[in-house]
Amino acid sequence: MSKPHRSIVAAVTCLTVLSRTGALAQSVLDRTPNLSGGWVARQGVIQFNFLHRFERGDAPERKVSNFPTFILAGGLPWHTMVGFYYSTNSTLVPLYPNEWEFFGRVRPISQDDGGPLDVAGQVGYNLAADGLDGEISLARRFGPVRPIAVLRILKNPNADGTDVAVGGGAVVRLFRYLALAGDVASVTERDPGEKVAWSAGLQIGIPSTPHSLSLHASNASTVTLEGASRGGDHTRYGFEFTIPFTLARYFGRKTKPAAAPAATPAPVGNVVHTTMLNLAFTTAKLEVPVGTTVEWKNEDQVPHTVTANDKSFDSGTMDADAVWQHKFDRPGTYTYFCTLHPFMKGTVIVR
């Protein structure tokens, strides 16, 4: 089977094995332009990133050359992820511009889960280099700063044998939706013409959405393990836009009518707890007795609101992990929605 055919088969395989739950999307606020920082999508989230870099040639032509890369990956159970990078204009191997790198990544230790730092491993196969690559990534948050270190074992794309590459970088969070980031990486024995790869960027989170944007410069043409370890003579300017798809929103099980007690979470004292997850109110219909307090918790990574259709109550903007309560003192049917995502709707029936 030819390399292009193997690429298509592997890409389809990556998509068909993805699960259907989860919510967290990748954000460039947690990594640098050329380092993943060990990020792994939650189970059931398909991540599509579009990265485009530009290079201007010398005078008098000043030709603009494009270096687009598409990244598609999906979260699986046990903090794992599979996917691929596809660049249509790679300089890794002469006369072989279409660089594919298929990978699997796992993060067994995470600060979010109580670990001392983030530890991740990645194994991939690069079709342009025609060999296996691997990476160990370490990262840790210290307040607004997140340093990242990587060790890579790479197939030498121009000869037999392997290369060892090391790299590091850091993200400095300036504000909630704004960060500065930079990194360097290099193989320990560079071939003629190879330089230390570097990047520097302004990382932006887009408020009220799961998307993020990186505006950056780099001397690397791609962000594969191979491409991000080998720099060139020219500086390329560009961007990366992250687009997550939560499969449960489109293919999850449809809610079936159920008896009121089964549809309502068990109360704790006189409080009923429910959540917002996967861009939905997890219990869309609640039936509670008069005097019950309903508590909503935002377990998504984007803001939401709990707003009555008749404006009789309104939580205001609830950020990730925020909690809001409302006490229902009178019988009736109360419908509500999220003003930021109007397709999110719910009902509280008070008896």
Tens digits of residue pLDDT in 324-333: 999 999 999 9
Which pLDDT score is estimated for 10? 43
pTM of the model: 0.69
Distance CA 7, CA 164 (A): 26
Give the domain-ending residue among 181, 216, 248. Answer: 248
Comparing CA positions, the residue from 195, 215, 196, 192 lying closest to residue 205 is 215
207 and 118 both lie in a single domain: yes
Which pLDDT score is estimated for 258? 39
Give the domain-ending residue among 188, 214, 248. Answer: 248
* Count of domains for the chain: 2
Residue 8 in this model has a pLDDT that exceeds 50 = no
Give the domain-ending residue among 248, 270, 303. Answer: 248
Mean pLDDT of the chain: 85
Comparing CA positions, the residue from 153, 154, 185 lying closest to residue 169 is 185
299 and 172 both lie in a single domain: no
55 and 150 both lie in a single domain: yes
Which pLDDT score is estimated for 14? 43
Range of the domain at 171: 3-248
Report in angstroms the alpha-carbon separations of 72 from 100, 169, 186, 300, 346.
11, 23, 25, 21, 33
CB atoms within 10 A of CB 144: 11
